[in-house]
């Protein structure tokens, strides 16, 4: 009589180790960031936005410096030209960050993203982080090139000091990073490129233009609380500013954080 024996347990291969949450495992934050980075650079829109940003910066900063030279404006820091170009260049970052979100909703690939990373806050945070890093690198690159181009255009009607110039370059990069986070939050909230861009263009350009065009201390004070008004004070340190440059940066960061939380709320409530 034979006694049945239990099947032998197959040993795990020596190299097999359990997945550690958050350390490159499927669904972890590291994996989510890597996936978002790959998806961003797999489409032409990102490259086209950055090339457009370089072109706009070059044209705007040379024009800004040339006008200052021709009209014999007072000598000013050369970094002012690059900081002023952010009013236009920021929209290349806006489009890049918006498309990174809305393109997935348009194609339905957002379902695959949420299946591979089930925790919604990780998907949202990964997109925001990737967009912020790209926005910062792009902003500093634009500012460096714009400063160099403006120096030629000013032709002696600008001052250069390494410390203040570096501060303005980094301020432009940080502002663009915060604008990218703001754009990702709005894009998650609207889920449609036209809706997201309409809100962002209104908030970052149309509304400030209207407030400053109408004039008056009250409307000017209101503009100082909007993202670009605060960002302008952050990138253009001046004695007559209503608050310190750091305060301007914090105001922009508050707008970005609010948009991030709203976008996350909508993602969790409405899902894919």
pLDDT computed for residue 72 by the predictor: 85
| Number of separate domains in the chain | 1
Taking Cα atoms as reference points, which of 237, 221, 228 lies closest to residue 255?
A: 228
Residue for token digits 């097999």? 16
Strands 158-159 and 76-77: parallel
Judge whether 16 lies within some domain: no
Instruction: Tell me the pLDDT band of 31, cut-offs 50, 70 and 90.
Output: confident
As given in the structure block, the two tokens for residue 265 are: 């709320």
Please check whether residue 167 lies inside any domain of the structure: yes
Residue range of the domain that includes 140: 29-270
Residue 14 lies in a domain: no
Residue 6 belongs to some domain of the structure: no
Within-domain flag for 97? yes
Whether the per-residue pLDDT at 14 is higher than 50: the answer is: no
DSSP 75-111: PEETHHHHHHTHHHHHHHHHHHHHHHHHHHHHHTTHH
Is 120 within 8 Å of 32 (Cβ atoms)? Answer: no
Alpha-carbon distance of 232 to 175, in angstroms, equals 9
E strands, 15-77, in order: 76-77
Residue 271 pLDDT: 63
Rounded CA separation 128/130 (Å): 6
Whether pLDDT at 64 is above 80: yes
Kindly tell me if the per-residue pLDDT of 246 is higher than 90. yes
Examine residue 12 and state whether it is found in any structural domain, yes or no. Answer: no
Give the Cα-Cα-Cα angle 168, 174, 179 (nearest 5 degrees).
Answer: 125
Which residues have a Cβ under 8 Å from the Cβ of 242 and sit 6 or more positions away?
A: 221, 224, 233
Task: Tell whether 189 is covered by a domain.
Answer: yes
Asked if residue 203 is part of any domain, the answer here is yes
What tens digit of pLDDT does each residue of 111-154 get?
887 777 778 888 889 999 999 999 999 999 999 999 999 999 99
pTM for the structure as a whole: 0.86
> Do the beta carbons of residue 58 and residue 149 sit within 8 Å?
yes
In degrees and rounded to multiples of 5, residue 255 shows phi and psi of: -60, -45
């Amino acid at each position: 009589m034979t006694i049945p024996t239990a099947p032998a347990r197959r040993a795990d291969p020596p190299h097999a180790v359990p997945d550690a949450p958050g350390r490159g495992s499927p669904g972890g934050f590291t994996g989510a960031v890597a996936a978002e980075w790959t998806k961003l650079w797999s489409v032409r829109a990102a490259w086209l936005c950055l090339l457009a940003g370089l072109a706009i910066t070059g044209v705007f900063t040379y024009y800004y410096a040339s006008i200052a030279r021709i009209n014999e404006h007072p000598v000013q820091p050369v970094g002012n030209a690059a900081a002023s170009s952010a009013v236009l260049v920021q929209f290349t970052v806006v489009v890049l960050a918006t498309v990174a979100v809305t393109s997935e909703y348009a194609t339905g690939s957002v379902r695959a993203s949420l299946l591979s990373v089930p925790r919604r806050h990780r998907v949202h945070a990964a997109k925001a982080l990737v967009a912020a890093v790209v926005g910062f690198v792009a902003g500093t690159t634009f500012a460096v090139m714009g400063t160099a181009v403006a120096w030629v255009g000013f032709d002696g009607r600008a001052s250069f000091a390494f410390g203040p110039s570096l501060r303005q370059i980094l301020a432009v990069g940080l502002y663009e990073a915060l604008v990218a986070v703001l754009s990702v939050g709005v894009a998650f909230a609207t889920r449609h490129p036209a809706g997201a861009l309409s809100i962002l263009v209104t908030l970052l350009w149309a509304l400030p233009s209207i407030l400053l065009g109408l004039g008056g201390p009250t409307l000017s004070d209101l503009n100082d609380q909007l993202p670009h008004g605060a960002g302008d004070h952050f990138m253009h340190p001046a004695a007559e500013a209503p608050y310190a440059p750091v305060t301007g940066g914090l105001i922009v960061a508050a707008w970005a954080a609010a948009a991030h939380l709203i976008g996350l709320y909508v993602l969790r409530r409405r899902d894919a």
